[in-house]
Amino acid sequence: MTRTTTGPDPAAVVRDYYEQSAEREADRLDRPTDGAIERELHARALEEHLPPAPARILDNGGGPGTWTLWLARRGYRVTLTDLSPALLDVARDRVGRASRQDAVNVEAVAEADARDLSAFPDASFDAQLCLGPFYHLTSSTDRRQAIQEAHRVLRPGGLLITTVMPRYMRLVSTVLERGSAAFTTGAVDLILDEGRYDDARPGRFTGGYLTRPDHVTSFFEDHGFRVRRLLASQGILSWAQPEVAALAQRDPDAYQRLLDIAYRTADDPSIHGMSGHLLVIAERPAVQAGETPATGRA
């Protein structure tokens, strides 16, 4: 695969991070103060938008298999891919401990790069989850390759459900953690000027591509998709996750009602810039006369 950057392969940098953090990543979506709200809102979006089971789904970048097994339990036929052997080992262990029917619905667990899905024929899947790779593709060439591959392996009318990462929440969290060093090392300027986040410290999130919310829809639509919805993954609750976790313990009814509001308002553009992640739900339209299958455009 042709590279446009020098130095370490970006995929190797990202793989190394997840190899070091596999244990932490494996239960992230279960942690009340980290991924639990994201899990709840994403689950609602999947239930609302996915085609009926037993549609075939590619969980691309699916790591430890959390969503793969969630889908398999609902009757979907799922293929899981990821860059990290350590996370794939976690996924295989989980599939091995799942019920027989759930395990049967997991068609494959394999190592793959989002930029190269050549193991799969054209129009192989009814939907693709890609809840991670796009915020680790730091060059425009890599992002273009990944979106073209996503388009290729989806059938006409298929869905791409993916996440991207806005800039400002990462910027603020970087300054809160690192103080003045965030400015003197150039980390803040790199986020603001280039949408990049790199952290050489072992086991730290790195190799991040941080976008602007107003650029998201045009990127996907320029590559042959029709964006159905753009949602804040934690809704209005990004900065209150510890407090929301405490609310869940002392007043479960209020917690559920607050989640209802968070999901109902998650597509409000006024909150997108300060979301931890954005969930993109995009459709590959049926190819029309005069269009090319590679892009959906003439």
What value does the mean pLDDT take over residues 175-194?
96
Give the C-alpha separation, 147 to 206, whole Å: 21
Please, which residues have CB within 8 angstroms of residue 84's CB and are 6 or more apart in sequence?
15, 18, 19, 22, 63
pLDDT tens figures, 259-279: 999 999 999 999 999 999 999
Burial of 51 (0-12, 13-18, 19+ CB in 10 A): middle
- pLDDT for 11-57, tens place per residue? 888 888 899 888 888 899 999 999 999 999 999 999 999 999 999 99
Q: How far apart are CA 247 and CA 258, in angstroms?
A: 10
Give the pLDDT score at 212. 96
**Number of DSSP helices (H) and strands (E) in the chain, helices first:** 13, 9
**Nearest CA to 200 among 26, 20, 22, 23?**
20
pLDDT of residue 288 exceeding 60: no
pLDDT tens-digit profile of 109-154? 999 999 999 999 999 999 999 999 999 999 999 999 999 999 999 9
Distances (CA, A) of 122 to 86, 149, 282, 283: 28, 9, 18, 16
Can you identify the CATH homologous superfamily of domain 10-166+207-283?
A: Vaccinia Virus protein VP39 (3.40.50.150)
How much is the mean pLDDT over the chain? 92
DSSP state string for 140-207: HHHHHHHHHHHHHHEEEEEEEEEEEEESHHHHHHHHHHHTTHHHHTSHHHHHHHH-EE---STTS--S
Q: What is the pLDDT of residue 294?
A: 45
- pLDDT tens digit sequence for 62-109: 999 999 999 999 999 999 999 999 999 999 999 999 999 999 999 999
Q: Which amino acid is at 177?
A: E
Give the type of residue at 94. R
